[in-house]
Structure 1
């Protein structure tokens, strides 16, 4: 009986390790999808290149942005027309299962401080299906010396 218990414990540890490795691999793949999507869409302003990362739907939770894939297409057109030199630098990337979180320094016009942005993406089957964000202007003076990034 003791050997059966030890055997079952070893199998359990092996399966748990395999599941964690698969989850880590999936999270890394999700992070890659979101970073490439962000670069193609926000920095290169190339809707066609960015659109391949969308799933069958794109639910937008930002109340100031139009919903859906067509809403994102309109936003890219707006950036291309009004802020052609805008650039978003991803400072940090985090993943938790099917969620990827970006910490971004976005500058729409050169010479300005820009915004600190937290973007949250949900993926299904390796494709982006939902988006949330929180945007905070970078102030001229800070109450601390820690920096926003």
Structure 2
């Protein structure tokens, strides 16, 4: 798989997850051996991930993707997300590993954005 194909796969999966397709459509981009290492959602396989994410109000979240970088079988994405259940924005870095054209591994780090940084024009480190 090419780097551009890997970026496209991740972008499509995220578009489905946070768009009209939802969890089931996003799951089509996951390898059967998918593992999630994220602090918010930790799962050991694709079925666990689907069950866990169905519990989250993903449809009510907002996501603004700002950078998608790829190297080899890894894709990294920088985004800003609105968490309606906590009423604030977070900055998120997701790291995906792909195998056979599917996402096989995911990890993420995130942090809440301080009130002063929630305005995209006020943030100096990352051009939200």
Q: TM-score range by the shorter chain?
A: 0.7 to 0.9
1:79 aligns with 2:44: no
Q: Aligned-residue CA RMSD in angstroms?
A: 2.5
SS at structure 2 position matched to 1:122: strand
Structure of greater relative contact order (alpha carbons < 8 Å, 6+ residues apart): 2
SS at structure 2 position matched to 1:115: strand
Q: When the two structures are superposed, what TM-score results if normalisation uses the length of structure 2? A: 0.81
* Pair 1:145–1:62, CA change in 2 (3 A): closer
More displaced 10-residue stretch of structure 1: 99-108 or 47-56: 47-56
Q: Determine which of 71, 80, 83 is the counterpart of 1:96.
A: 71
Q: When the two structures are superposed, what TM-score results if normalisation uses the length of structure 1? A: 0.71
Once the two structures are TM-superposed, the CA of residue 73 in structure 1 deviates from its matched residue by 1.2
Q: How does 1:13-32 map to 2 (within 5 A)?
A: 26-32=2-8
Aligned residues: 122
Structure 1 unaligned residues grouped into runs of 5+: 1-24
SS at structure 1 position matched to 2:109: strand
Distance in 2 (CA, whole Å) between partners of 1:145 and 1:114 is: 12
Structure 2 unaligned residues grouped into runs of 5+: none
From the CA coordinates, give the structure whose radius of gyration is larger: 1
Once the two structures are TM-superposed, the CA of residue 41 in structure 1 deviates from its matched residue by 1.5
Distance in 2 (CA, whole Å) between partners of 1:128 and 1:146 is: 32
Considering fraction of residues, name the structure with more helix: 1
